Structure 1
């Protein structure tokens, strides 16, 4: 009986050694693979094309999400044969700013006793929307037979049209959400605080169109 246990023990040790050798080989073999793929970044460094001085004070920003629903039909042709409907979810932001570069020559009037200042500000504007590509995507897409065959030949749908439509929708939403009004008020608060810290009494008014 004792000899049998010794025999089992030797076999167990041998199996453990084999397993250890196999695990080592698994860790080494990938490095010995002559066909192992690698990635080399040969991109050139960014080249400065131009420098612009900014005179805009971005005083408010809004985050928006919109679902774009675009359908393309062909007259007298059933949608099962030709046509396309796409639901595109777009997420992005838009800034509202006041452009100090457009201040009139008499936009700042300082009183004779240099105790008060009157500012006339141009209206706030909306910047171009910035879409977040990581959160913008095609949610669903229905295509007719001919369109599906065309996608096989020509590749995936160009999403540029959806991004353009999303930018328009976000701009329209920002125009009705009071974002420019908020930017105007924030700009007035900023200028008032800065000038009062310099010892001025401040009067800020809006420019007349």
Structure 2
């Protein structure tokens, strides 16, 4: 009976070492097994100290700077510019207007919630428009000089407005909202020209503002003053400048 009550070494137990008063204490691992771990800790600590020392020496300038193996590099694979055409211009730029416009453009679908399908952009566009007189379109006989050389009459084509030049360095997107389906579409197939509609709208509004700003009238007055001062320096006492439709 005493042999049957003895616990077999092969049977599992729920007791942790130390719960049995008669159990022998577990001995710590031998010093030979702790040696590699301690050596690894010493090596890692020495490497960390070396990195800190090198960074400190580099900061103080005692040693030349070493290259960061993970530094950012930029590669330019752009092709050289291709000359498309050359145009001879005979324009006299007499005035320039600088404009700023705020474009709030939203594209959505009817009966579809905005959080699913919506695209709204708040854009501030800055651009300039030139008003010029094309001297190359001066008709024959447009300059009439009196016999005594004291009076000159000049007929010029009316000033025109150049194309709107949108300055991208001064233009920026203030805010942008996109629905869930719009964002998924960007991940699947992004559209690099998505902002072109906003840019075109800003250019159109700046062009309209330039036409209503009196920029053409300012160009007429500036051109008239320029020619009058030039011809008076040549001896003409009276200079008359008129404008005709080009």
TM superposition score category, shorter chain reference: 0.7 to 0.9
Equivalent position to 1:62, from 78, 81, 97: 97
Say if 2:91 and 2:135, in contact at 8 Å, map to a contact too: yes
Q: C-alpha separation between the residues in 1 aligned to 2:155 and 2:67? A: 73
Q: C-alpha separation between the residues in 2 aligned to 1:75 and 1:121? A: 53
SS of match in other structure, 1:199: coil
TM-score normalized with structure 2 length: 0.68
Larger relative CO (CA 8 A, sep 6+): 1 or 2? 1
Displacement of 1:97 in angstroms is 0.8
Is 2:215 the partner of 1:179? yes
Equivalent position to 1:169, from 195, 205, 214: 205
SS of match in other structure, 1:31: coil
Match for residue 202 of structure 1? Answer: 239
Is 2:81 the partner of 1:52? no
Equivalent position to 2:126, from 91, 111, 127: 91
Displacement of 1:49 in angstroms is 4.6
Q: C-alpha separation between the residues in 2 aligned to 1:80 and 1:38? A: 39
Instruction: Name the larger-Rg structure.
Output: 2
Any gaps of 5 or more consecutive residues in structure 2?
A: 1-51
Equivalent position to 1:188, from 212, 224, 235: 224
Displacement of 1:155 in angstroms is 3.3
Match for residue 5 of structure 1? Answer: none
Q: 1:191 to 1:25 in 2, by over 3 A?
A: closer
Q: C-alpha separation between the residues in 2 aligned to 1:208 and 1:66? A: 30
Structure number with the higher helix fraction is 1
Say if 1:30 and 1:36, in contact at 8 Å, map to a contact too: no
Displacement of 1:52 in angstroms is 2.5
1:1-209 equivalence runs, <5 A: 23-24=56-57, 31-34=66-69, 36-39=71-74, 41=76, 46=81, 48-155=83-190, 158-200=194-236, 201-207=238-244
SS of match in other structure, 1:184: helix
SS of match in other structure, 1:92: strand
